[in-house]
Structure formats: C-alpha cells, structure tokens
Structure 1
Amino acid sequence: MEQYGRCSRVGKCVGAVKSKIFRANSDNRCIIEGTIVIEHGSRKYGPGKSVSVQIYSSTEVDPDTGKGKLSQKAYLKEGKSSKQDDVRTTTYQVKFFVESGFGVPGAFVVRNQHRHEFFLQHATLQASENQIIHFDCRSWVYPIKKTKSNRIFFSNSCFLPSQTPRGLVELRREELVSLRGNGTGERKKWDRIYEYDYYNDLGNPDEDPEYIRPVLGGSNLHPFPRRLRTGRPPNKTDPSTESRPELFNFDIYVPPDERFSPKKLAEFKRNAIQATLHFLVPEAKKLFQESNGLDFESFDEILDLFSSNRDQVLEGGVAKIMKKLVTDGFFKEITNASKLDSINFPLPQIIAANDTAWIEDEEFGHQMLAGANPTRIRGLETFPPEGSSIDQSHIEHNLDGLSLERAMKQWRLYILDHHDYLMPFLERIFLEEGACTYASRTLFFLRNDATLKPVAIELSFPGVISRVFVPASEGTDRALWQLAKAHVAANDSVYHQLINHWLHTHMVAEPFIIATRRQLSVMHPIHRLLDPHFKDTMHINALARSFLINAGGIFDNTLFSGSCSMELSSELYKEWRFDEQALSIDLLNRRMALEDTQSFSEVFILFQDYPYGLDGLDIWVAIKAWVQDFCDIFYKDDDSVRSDVEIQAWWSEIRNVGHGDKRQETWWYEMTTRSELMQALTTLIWIASGLHASLNFGQYAYAGYPPSRPFLCRKFIPYEGTEEFAEFLSDPDNYFLQMLPGRIQMTLGIALLEVLSRHISDEEYLGQRPSSKWIDNKDAQEKFEKFNENLKEVEKKILERNEDPKLKNRWGKANIPYRLLYPDTSKVEFKGGITSRGIPNSISI
C-alpha cells in the first residue's frame, strides 16, 4: 500500500502544477493543486465559478459516510481559453484545501450550477512528489437543476473489485448502481442511465401506415441485439412501437459519456449538411422529378456529379418540405450552408486513375479480396453448390487448363453466395419496393497469379428457372454478362451495408458497451482497456436509428431491400456467433486459411495475395498480443477471472440480456479462464477497430461511383424474344443505365457513402490514446508502447506488400492501393477526410 501513502510530513502537501510544497495553514490544512480542462462549444465564456469541485481520498475513510475523506470545494474561475473551429477550450488552475493526512486522491465530484452543460476533457492532480494522478473524463456535465445530483469522476488508476482502495469501495458500488436505472420513464439528454430495449423505434405508424415495422428482438421470429433504452412515449396507432424523434435530431438520447465531443459534433454536422446539399430528401421526390428527370441518360451525366457546380440554394417549395423534416436549428444551418459556393462530390478512387476499370472481370474479382466487402468470399467445398443450376459445362473451359476435379483438390474455386437467405424476400421486395432483385451465386477461379476470375453467375427468382451466365469478351453475351455482374454487385452491396457493416459491427457491439458501463466500474482494468474502443459508437447508432435505418429513412430509399431491410438483418442475426467473429476462426470457416497450431496467429492464409486476410491477420495478432500482455498484469491465474465479480456479471449480462435472443446457444465462452477472457476481448476489439475499418472506410472509394456497386437494380435481365430484349439490343449501355438506381436514389446513396467514409479530425487510432497517461499503471503503459511498435511493424509490412509487383490484388485494375487495414500510427495531428487508411479504435462513424 505504499503507493497510497500520505503526505510525508504532517501539515505539508505537494502542488500539482508547480510541483511546489505548500505549508499548512494555521488550521493545519494542506493545499493540493491541479488543472481541469473543459470544452464549452462556441460560447465565449465557460461555466466559471458556478462550478465547484471536491476531491475524494482513496485511502482515508470518513467514518460518518463510509466513503473517502472529502476536500473543501474549489471553484472554476479565471481560466485560460482558446478557440478552434467554433469550439472553445478553457483550462482552469484549481486549489483544494484538505485535512492533514488526507491521503491519495482517487476521485473528484463536480457540481454544475451553471445554466449550460460543458464537456469535461481531463483533470490532473499531484498526490505526492512522485505521483501525478490523471483523470481521463471526456464526458458532458449537465446543470444540477437537470440532473439533481453531482457528477463523480474516478482517476485513471485500475483495480479489480477485490483490490479497490477502501476509500473508493462505496463510491464504486454507488456509481454502478446509479448507472443501471429502473427501466421507467423517458430519458433526457442529461440522464446518465444505461438500460436495454428492443429495436421498437424504427417504425412510425402514426405518420403513415407504410411505416409500420415489426419490433426486432425478444422473439424467435425477429431476434436482434438489444439497443440503449430511450423510453419515449409509444405510438398511438401501435403501442408496441416507440414514437420517433424529429429527423436529423442530433439531441437523440445517449448518456453524457457517449455523446460526441463539441468538436466532433460540429464537424459531423458540417459533413451531414454538406451531404444534405447534394440531394433533396425522398419526400421532395416529386419536385426533384419535375425539375431534373428520373434517370441519368448517359454515363457522362453521372460523372457530372463529381465535376460540375450545381445550384444548391434551398428555396420555394423545396425549402418548405425540408423545413417540415428537420429541426429548426438544423434547417437554419442547411439554409446558411446552401448560400455558399456549390459543393461537388469528391472523385471516387474507382474511377480516378482508370474510369473503365470497374467493368473488368479482374477488378470484379479483386474487390472480393480487397474491396469494400472482402469478408463474404469463401472457398467452395462441393461442386456444384447445393441446389445450384451451375454445372461442369459452365466452367470447365475457364479453369486455365485444369480439370474441375483438380481445381477443387487445389482449393482453386471460390463462391460469393447471396442465394438462400434472399430467396424468401424476393417476391416481397419486388411487389413492395419495385426493385428487380435476384438471389445469386457467383463462382470464381483462383488463377496462378492469385487473382480471382469470375467463371459463372447464377441468378434465381422464386417460381422461375434459374439462369446461369458465363464470361464473354464481346457482343450480346458480353453485355448480358455485365448486367449479371451488376445484379451480383447489388446483392453484395446491400449485404455489405446491412449485415457485415451495420449488423456485424455497429449493432452487435452496442450490448457490449451497455453491459460494460453497467457492470464494470471505470476503475476496472478491463473497462479501461475497452473504453477507447467504444468511443462515440452509441451516439452514431442512435443517429442511425433517427434517419438511416428507420422507416422512411435512407436505407429504405436507397437499398433494394427497402422497407424489409431490418427484417433481413434480423434473419441473418440468427446465423451470428460471437466466437466466429474472431478473424482467425472466420478465415478458417471460409476456407481462406488453414489451422496452424504452432503459430501465435493460429492460422496461415492459403494464398498470400488476399490483402484483407493477410493485413487483417497481422492486426489480429498485434491486438491479441496486446490483450494478453495487459491481462497478464491484472490476472495471474484462472481463479482470478472466476472470482472477479464484475467480469462475471458483465459476461452474464451480455449473454443473457444484451444478446438475450442467443442466450441458449452453447458456443458462448464460459468465462472461467484467462484464455477465454483474452479471446473474448481480442474479438471485441477486432470488431470495433480492424473489422469496422475494413468495411467502412473503403465504401466511397469503390461504391461512390454507383455503376460499379449499385444498391439496387430497377430491371431484370431480359429474355431473348421479348420487347425488353429488343430494347436491350438496340442500346445495351442505355439499358444498363435504366437498370441502375434513379437520380434521387443514386445521389442520396453517394451522399451517404461520402459521410460514412470520412474520418473525423478528432479520431483516435489503433495504438494511440489521447494522452500517454491514459492509465496510471507503468507496466500497462510499457506494454501499450510495445503494441504501438508492433503496429508500426505491420505498417512496414503493408507498405512492402503494396510495393511488390507480384501481388496484383494489392492494387487491382483500378489502381487503388489496399490501405484499409494500415494502422497509420502517425496520425497525431490528423485533419480528417476520405483517405481509405487508418484504423480508428472504435465504431465512431
């Protein structure tokens, strides 16, 4: 307990900032100095002396309260301010008077009597000549007239529950209890409560019967991960459905710890406004159709989206419609921005260096290994695929001289399967959405240079005989092959967006975050480990429920799945297993790797030119080593995991509540050993960092030009002898254009991808923390530096691979270097943008 020692001499204490010893006052008090740094939006002045702060001792207990001794109040006054990008930061020097023998500060409590909230970044105190205590706060502090209680922050020191310093034991317990709430009432933005709920807030039947949506979660028919409870009143039409907030309402409830910082909120709004100015929301469709027409009549018209200056001023009927759809404040910001110079979409990488590369079969195969969705391709285990109409005659001439039997034995055939899960939805999608969607199976052959060559596409629709298309180099067959590839690309785009991106990262992560806040104290080392990987996830998810995945939202209006998008996600959640989200297991299951019991990576990639697999495995190994090093500091044996009451409660809640529809599954870890804990943590960090980065930040590069990866098709492939086939023969390019999304849907889709693909300037990247003092544990800091060095080695490997001319899949025909899993540890002063590189710690966009 030496690290919790008192002041070395009675009546003396060490000041935090000037490292200066203050003698006791006549009443035998000590003075402890510190700094507190806050952000407070664009207002000129901070909260000042209307905010008081007191510190708790971690080592000395007040017998009257059973908690650590409490200092006298200090006030925030005479701070030094600076302003950048409409965000003002103020640093306050504070002095705390404490009794002699106060001990080591372990927490501080804030009372905000100002009329506005502020964002508390961090604080620093000095407990002794050799011990500076850091508080990494990063949370909003609301006025006490709203919260009815003070706000407490704990230091960056970590303790397992059984090792909690005695002055913090009761504070630790009280804090966790307060975060769990009572499951009643509507949550306001100042409430710091974490409760679970079903996805019952996606529909809006009071607005329109077309906006009726089933509740997702809590049933065998529609299982789903849980979300954060908001408690808004029910719809009048359907009491099981929660009422909706206004569109583009950035104040949708998330607890203060989860809300964007002022800097990020300002930047995110700017990006959203810019994207809004590229399109008019679907409710203005009639106006848009009258003035601009439904369709693009040439590929050049699509290219004009990226090169011409378009009038964006909101006026007349369009402005009236927009005003009804968004909050008054957001409408004002949109109107002001629309008066500025016209803004163009940036040029997507897929057409930047070679504007026809997307048409090539080699690029089509390349994107399965290194594009926006490289996690669906898998090795073909049996030929033909079960239930498939593809036979040997379709592909044997396209195997570069190999027999089918030999190609199978050499693991040279691969499949992109979007068939069985889609078939039950196709008729409904066609009738309700008007989208012409097939279920598809696409076979690829792995060539000697490790590129994937598509060799057959099967397209199916209920009640219709499946059609099989094969590659052709010219004429009508070539044009039909391009149509077939477009339908496959649409399948893959929607699966990528709905399942791999939103379900497998955003949605499955939220229950882990809620359980962590409810069951693991901020003093718990695992909370400290995971916290950076949860940054902003719940806020971005809440905003998604507000205008992206809700009834009438952007997904409804851009994806072929339309109003059944989230039901489709629910159906595929039935297949989700947490243990299979581990990259090593995923690669094994997809026959993209073989088991390697001698390697720390657990597997080795079947062929080296699989950029996602190879780079991802390097990241996986680095994360795994870091997690093991960190856990070794705090857990000495399996019993220390079993006896950790907070960890056991955390894992039980994840299994039985957060992912409660999966509670009966036998694949969950029992959480009785260190290895199970480390595997679970490695998987969770991988999902939040590497997996999400690989699926999110390449979207604009590859799908920002919709002909390459459309979100829907409006025409089926015509049959010979029909009027549509004659139309197709007369102008195949025009038929292709008419098959693509219309002007509204296409422009809206581009705008969405532009926002999603942008890095925000306050992003924190894998291997980085906002401060080197993110944890007050020297061993952990040293191990984290080792993690950072390992990631720098990964960067070197990736650069070397991208410079190797033999690895064709590192660039593809479109000449796009694969950098989605490049950690970019140098981004200390990163300014944001669409870069397709850098792995954020968290699912923050």
Structure 2
Amino acid sequence: MLTYKVLVSTDRQRTAETKNSIYLTLLDSNNQSSERTLVKKSRFGGMEREISFDVCAKKDLGDIVQVKLEKEKHFVNFQWFCKHIKVKTPSEKFFEFPCHRWLVGKNEVIIIREGSAQLPQDDTELLKKQRQEELESTRKIFRIGDSFLDKFKGFIQSWKDLADFEKILEDFKIKNTLLENVMQDWSKDYMFGYQFLNGCNPVMIRKCMNLPDNFPVRHEMVDGFLRRGATLQEEIKAGNIYIADYEILDGVPASSTRHYLTAPICLLYKNRLDQIVPIAIQLSQNPGEKSPIFLPSDNEYDWMLAKMWVKSSDFNVHQLVTHLLKTHLISEVFEIAMYRQLSAVHPVHKLLKPHVRFTIAINAEAREKLVSDGGVFSKISSIAGAEMEKVIKRAMETLTYESLCFPEAIKARGMEDIPKYFYRDDGMKIWEAINCFVSAVVEIYYDSDETVQKDVEIQEFVKDVSFGMNNSDKFPKSLKTREELAEYLTVVIFTASAQHAAVNFGQFDWYGWIPNSPSTMRKPPPEQKGQVDLKYIMDSLPDRGCSSKALGTVWALSQFQKNELFLGTYPDMCFTEQPVKEAIKTFRKKLDEVTNIIKSRNEELTLDYCYLSPDKIPNSVAV
C-alpha cells in the first residue's frame, strides 16, 4: 500500500463545521482511485480548521488530478465548507485543490479539479466529459429567460425650514467633512456643478457640441454669465459649454399623486476658475410659455428650485440607471454567464470569481426590498413599479459594450480635457491597472490569438452575456484576439469593482443633505417665473417621513460590508501557478501606487475625492 499525505482546510466560521461524515478519495488521470477515506467528524469540531491524515492506495496513482468529496448525513443534515485540499504523494510531489465551496445536500458528492487552470481544448477526453457535465449541472441552476429584466417585474408633514433637515442627521452622530461642506455650500452654483463631475452620478455631463432644438437658449439670456466678449456659440466652439439632459424621464408618470417627476435640461459653463456652473435650466423637454428657461439672474427661490428639480431627476436616474442597471444588473449578467459557460477550472472563471462575489445575492435582496412595487425606492422616489422597468428598458436601448469601456465612455461624452474631473482621472488609472493585470493573465494561458478563438467556453460565455443583455446587436458575440479578451475581462472587473464604487459609496455624502438632492418632489414644477417662495420650496421637498427613509437608505448603501475584500485582495486563492501569483503581486503594487497618488492629491483639496482610491474599492458588487 502507498501512503498519500492529505491536508484538508475549512473556514474560520462556526457554520463551516459539520457533524456529518465526510469521505475523501484521490483520483488520477485515468480515474483510478485511492481508498475511500473517512475524515472523522470529530476532527472538524471545536475551533480546529485544518486536519492532516493519510490516504492509502494499492498502487501508484502518479499525478493526482481530482479529489472526490462525499458528505453523508446522519440524523440531521449539516452544511460544510471546504476551503482547500493539499496532497503530498509518496514521490514527494505536491498538488493543490482550491475548493471554496459548501457541501449542502443530504448526501452530496463533488469533484474538485487540481488547481492548475486549464483551457477546455487542453483537457483529456475524460476531463472534457466531466467538465461538460459540470457545466450542464450548473446551467440548471443559472438559467436565462428572455432577458434578465424579466425578474424585475405617518410622517407626511412638510419641514418648516431648510435648517430643519439637520434634525434627521443628528440621529446618525457621524462626523462627515464632505457632507458638512455640502450642507454649507449646497445652494451655490459651483457646488451644484461640481457634483456633475465628482458626485454620485458623474456620467450625465457631456460636452455640448450643439444646443438641442428643444432647448432654445439664446445668447442674450446667458451673456452676463460668459467670458466678456464671447458669444454663446463661440463658447460652445471653444469647448466651454456642457449639458446634462434627462430626456430618459420624459413622459414617465410619477409614482403617485403625491409625487412629481420631470425631464429637465441643464446647460453648464466652465468659468475662469475652471468651475462648472449652471447657466440655464429648462424643466421639461417641451419648450414654451409653460416651460420657461430659468437663469442665475432670476430671483433666489426660482433659481434654487430649478436646481433642486435637476438634482431630483438626477437622483432618480442615478439610482435606476447609473447604479442599479449599469453596475448591479450588468454584473449579474456576467456572473450568470460565467457559471453557465466557464468550468471552475477555466482560468477566466478563476479570475472573475472574486469579482462576482455576492452579486446575485445582493440583487435578489434589492429586488425584494428596494425596487419592488412596495419597496423602499418606490416610497422615497418619484418612480415606482412598472415605471421603473420602463426607465431601465429605455436605458438598455442605448447601452452598448463600448459604453462600458471606461476610456471610450469618457471620450464619447467629450470629457477628456475638462479640469478637476477626478472620477475620470482616477478611473483611468484603475482601468489601466486592471487591464495590465488581466493582459498578463491572458498571456499566461493563451499563447496566440488562435487559442482564444478555439476556446469554446470563452466564446459561449461571451455569447451568453450578449443574450443576457437583451441588446445583443450592441455586444460582441465572439472574441478573436488576446487583446479583445483582455479588454472584455477588464470591462467585467472594472464594472463590478471601480464603477460600482464610484456611483455607490458617495451616496450619504451627497444625498445626506436632502435639499441638495431631493429623492422626490411633492409639487409640480413651476410654469412661470416669480411665483416661488420658501414655503413653496418646503412644500415641494420630501416630507419628514420620506426624508428619514431616504437618509436611512443612502446611509446603509454607503457602508462597506464586514470583512470587505478590496480590489486586488484574493484570500481565496483560486490560482496555484506561480506566474499568476506574480501577476497578482504586480497588480497590488500598482494599486498601492495609485492609492498613494490619490491620497497626496486629496490632501490639497477642500473636497477630497476618494471613491476610486483602490483601498476603498470592493472587489465586487456586494452592497
């Protein structure tokens, strides 16, 4: 009999233990096996999380390519978590088997492949068959319908004064320097404009090349706000005019008779201080006598309310489109396609797994508690139920693969050169770091473009994503080169990590002061100038109950999870090959450099921008 030394590790959490019997069998490339060995339940009791034992075989098994685990219940079924298994052969060879899986069923059997990543075309016939069986089993769990959107189907008094909104912040007892700055300067034009660059929704602003036909701003309206001697058209030509258009909300009914919604257009100007400031706001898509263009020269309350309406519309678009659709739901499509089409031993599966961690779970929670008919979002915002789906479907019509490629998205909006756009500056650094890392991993496993083309699992993965987006003509259905594959994987990782961080974790900073970004409005937008006073504004803003719910919601969404795993941190090491481990080290070093650059810059800023600092970017959409 030959003896093999085995080390089995579980996780350091109480529920990772089991009182059922666990059996282990070693398998070689010809499916020859060792003795079926009992890993005694007592060995996984208490705080012990690793156990070494011997496994016997009647003959030399050579290279161990698989380990079979079996869990047999007794009177009660217990789940059990296996972290990894290590095997030392009689000839002193070592084999690692990353698992990171739960055994949940009453009498469950799983096969774990040796840790080396393998492309499907490089497997033996036996392993190809098992690989296909694994994917067929997984596809029964992760199924795609016609579209991922199919699954999407007391205190009503007004506040007396704007200062009263501070009362609900007292309960949080949180010192937040950025929020304090917002509370102090929220009504100033520079603070309003700054948020289009570095607030929660930094993707709506774009360079204005031509004024829309339905936004008849004339030079004489804005002459006093431009550089002396330059016309509006000259400023447009010089690249100093920007626009934020909420056309996507046009015609969308508000959630109830107590809520109002509109689709404003806001014109912005880069002034001599390189600040972005508003110079004209129209509160609908239909110009005319009942839709005046509001200007900074209007009376204080007219201009204040016009800006509030823009920010309220921005809040709704941010939550449903920028945040929910373009990070949460898109990442879910990537995750489902990964599990359906990429075997656990595939290098891309190993690469992406940390970046889809908990995404399906958090989205299921969001569907039930946030965006359902009776969910929190329908109670605090202007959009509910079927109208949410309508907005998301409109956004899907313009969603393209290129729009998820960060550099191309910035270029498409003409935002390459505008100063103080920290979202762009930091995002580019993160994009480049991820792309370099991913490219290094791709080159380890793919020695040519032809290897990519012959990888049937990757091609099916890409095809599944295209189908899942329900917008297949705007997403690639195949990949032909290593460069294309690296860019594609960069999109997946960037979307789930950096993009989500950029549009999620600043919510309490920017939405914590309700007048700065009202989640809904309770009176219709004014149809004439000169009729708004402070009482009209207070009656328009969210009431006491709605404000409290909104504040609690954005506070919860802005919190990191316990034991959060930040970008580049992979404690559950799925890769065993040294070249990949070296690539991860290089990636972490680059991220540390970016963190230090951002930290140094922020020390010079009144309003620091840290949402894209790598040490504050979780690996995945998990909140």
TM-score, structure 1 normalization: 0.69
The residue aligned with 2:37 is 73
Conserved? CA contact 1:696–1:756, under 8 Å: yes
Does structure 1 residue 168 correspond to structure 2 residue 127? yes
1:702 aligns with 2:503: no
Q: Which among 88, 94, 99 is matched to residue 127 of structure 1?
A: 88
Select the residue among 560, 569, 587 that pairs with 1:768: 569
Matched, 1:799 2:608: no
Contact kept? 1:511, 1:658, Cα under 8 Å:
yes
Relative distance call for 1:82 and 1:586 in structure 2 (3 A) is: farther
Q: 3-state DSSP class of the match of 2:585?
A: helix
Aligned residues of 1:622 and 1:791 also touching (Cα < 8 A)? yes
Contact 1:133–1:776 (CA under 8 A) maintained in structure 2: no
- Give the AA of the match of 1:754: W
Aligned to 1:3: none
- CA distance in 2 between counterparts of 1:175 and 1:699 reads 41
- State the SS of the aligned residue for 1:111: strand
Instruction: Judge conservation of contact 2:291–2:527 (CA < 8 Å) in 1.
Output: no
User: Structure 1, residues 261-306: CA drift from partner, whole Å, max 9, x if none?
Assistant: xxxxxxxxxxxxxxxxxxxxxxxxxxx34xxx53322344322222
The one-letter code of the counterpart of 2:613 is: Y
Instruction: Tell me if the contact between 1:767 and 1:788 (Cα under 8 Å) persists in the aligned partners.
Output: yes
C-alpha change, 1:395 and 1:136, in structure 2 (3 Å) is: farther
Q: Spell out, residue by residue over 1:113-172, the C-alpha distance to the aligned partner (whole angstroms, 9 max, x if none).
A: 343443525123133577544444333321325xxx423333432001122256633332
Distance in 2, Cα, partners of 1:70 & 1:176:
26
Residue in 2 that maps onto 1:109 = 68
Q: Of the candidates 244, 266, 273, which is equivalent to residue 449 of structure 1?
A: 273
**Equivalent AA in structure 1 for residue 29 of structure 2:** T
- With over 3 angstroms needed to count, the CA separation of the structure-2 counterparts of 1:701 and 1:95, relative to structure 1, is farther
User: Contact 2:283–2:293 at 8 Å: present in 1 too?
Assistant: yes
Question: Equivalents in 2 of 1:124, 1:483: separation in Å?
Answer: 62
The answer for unaligned runs of 5 or more in structure 2 is: none
Q: What residue in structure 2 maps to residue 572 of structure 1?
A: 395
**The one of 195, 203, 227 aligned to 1:400:** 227
Percent identity (aligned): 25
Give the distance between the partners of 2:577 and 2:451, measured in 1 at CA: 19
Deviations 1:533-584 (CA, angstroms, capped at 9, x unpaired)? 1100000011111111111111211111123122211121111112221001
- Among 217, 230, 249, the alignment partner of 1:390 is 217
Structure 1 distance, partners of 2:92, 2:568, is 27
2:482 counterpart residue number: 674
Give the whole-Å Cα distance in 2 for the aligned partners of 1:227 and 1:60: 44
Alpha carbons of structure 1 residues 628 and 558: separation in structure 2 relative to 1, 3 Å: same
Task: Note the alpha carbon deviations across 1:614-653, whole angstroms, 9 max, x for none.
Answer: 0000101111111111101111111101111111222222
SS of residue matched to 1:174: helix
**1:534 and 2:350 equivalent?**
no
Of 669-678 and 33-42, deviating more is: 33-42
Q: Which residue of 2 aligns with 1:585?
A: 408
Offset of 1:41 from its aligned partner?
4.5
2:315 maps to: 493
Matches within 5 A, 1:54-93: 54-62=24-32, 69-79=33-43, 90-93=49-52
Match of 1:144 among 106, 110, 115: 106
The residue aligned with 1:214 is none
SS in 1 for 2:566: coil
Match of 1:653 in 2: 464
| AA at the equivalent of 2:190 | E
Q: Deviations over 1:598-621 (max 9, x none)?
A: xxxxxxxx1342100000001011
Aligned residue number for residue 306 of structure 1: 169
SS in structure 1 opposite 2:559?
Answer: coil
Amino acid at match of 2:295: V
- For residues 98 and 539 of structure 2, the distance between their equivalents in structure 1, rounded to whole angstroms, comes to 54
Cα distance in 2 for partners of 1:165, 1:708 equals: 61
Aligned-residue CA RMSD in angstroms? 2.6
Q: Is the 8 A contact 1:713 1:741 kept in 2?
A: yes
The one of 157, 163, 173 equivalent to 1:294 is: 157
Q: Which amino acid in structure 2 is aligned with residue 709 of structure 1?
A: S
Q: How many residues align?
A: 617
* Aligned ranges 1:656-805 → 2 under 5 Å: 657-659=467-469, 661-663=470-472, 665=473, 668=476, 670-718=478-526, 725=531, 728-729=532-533, 732=534, 734-771=535-572, 773-804=573-604
Q: Which amino acid aligns with 2:275?
A: T
| Residue from 201, 206, 209 that aligns with 1:378 | 206
Letter in 1 for 2:42: E
Q: Which amino acid counterpart does residue 568 of structure 1 have in structure 2? A: V
Asked if the contact 1:55/1:106 (under 8 Å) is kept, the reply is no
| Distance 1:126-1:90 versus aligned 2 partners, 3 A rule | closer
How far off its partner does 1:40 sit?
Answer: 5.6
Asked whether the equivalents of residues 57 and 70 of structure 1 are also in contact (C-alpha less than 8 Å), the reply is yes
Residues in 1 aligned to 2:239 and 2:261: alpha-carbon distance in whole angstroms: 30
What is the aligned partner in structure 1 of residue 617 from structure 2?
839
Q: Secondary structure at the match of 1:78?
A: helix
Structure 2 contact 21–40 (Cα < 8 Å) conserved: yes
Which amino acid is the alignment partner of residue 302 of structure 2? L
Q: Which amino acid in structure 2 is aligned with residue 72 of structure 1?
A: R
Q: CA offsets per residue over residues 368-412 of structure 1, 9 Å max, x none?
A: 111111111111111x22321322222222123233233222211
Equivalents in 2 of 1:668, 1:694: separation in Å? 26
SS of the aligned residue for 1:714 comes to: coil
Please give the alpha-carbon distance, in whole angstroms, between the structure 2 residues aligned to 1:682 and 1:166. Answer: 32
Q: CA shift at 1:354, angstroms? A: 6.1
Kindly provide the amino acid, as one letter, of the partner of residue 441 in structure 2.
F
Q: What's the CA shift string for 1:37-79, capped at 9, x where partnerless?
A: 145646xx9313x2313234343433xxxxxx35422324334
Contact 1:59 1:166 in 2 (8 A): no
- 2:516 counterpart SS class: coil
SS at match of 1:818: coil
Residue in 2 that maps onto 1:469? 294
Contact 2:292 2:527 in 1 (8 A): no
Q: Is the 8 A contact 1:648 1:671 kept in 2?
A: yes
- Per-residue deviation at 1:499? 0.0
Contact 1:519 1:649 in 2 (8 A): yes
Counterpart mapping for 1:430-441 below 5 A: 432-441=256-265
How far apart, CA to CA, are the structure 1 residues paired with 2:235 and 2:384? 39
Contact kept, 8 Å, 1:55 with 1:108, in 2: the verdict is: yes
Q: Which has the higher contact order (CA 8 A, sep 6+)?
A: 2
Q: Report the AA paired with residue 332 of structure 2.
A: E
3-state SS of 2:494 partner: helix
**Aligned equivalents of 2:433 and 2:372: distance in 1?**
37
> Distance in 1 between the 2:345 and 2:9 partners?
20
Letter of the 1:480 counterpart: D
Q: Does 1:423 align with 2:371?
A: no
Residue 137 of structure 1 aligns to a residue in which SS?
strand
**Pairwise mapping of residues 228-377 of structure 1 onto structure 2 (< 5 A)?**
288-289=154-155, 294-308=157-171, 344=172, 346=174, 349-353=177-181, 355-377=183-205
Question: AA paired with 2:583?
Answer: K
Whether the aligned pair in 2 keeps the contact of 1:118 and 1:142 (CA below 8 Å) is yes
Question: 2: CA distance between counterparts of 1:539 and 1:76?
Answer: 33
Question: Where does the alignment leave 5 or more consecutive residues of structure 1 unmatched?
Answer: 1-27, 63-68, 84-88, 182-192, 199-216, 218-223, 229-240, 242-287, 309-343, 594-605, 805-810, 825-837
Q: What displacement does 1:503 show?
A: 0.4
Task: Supply the AA of the counterpart residue of 1:445.
Answer: Y
Change in CA separation of 1:782 and 1:304 when aligned onto 2, cut-off 3 Å = same
Question: Is the 8 Å Cα contact of residues 34 and 55 (structure 2) preserved in structure 1?
Answer: no
Q: Measure, in 1, the Cα distance between the counterparts of 2:325 and 2:223.
A: 37
Is 1:459 the counterpart of 2:283 in the alignment? yes
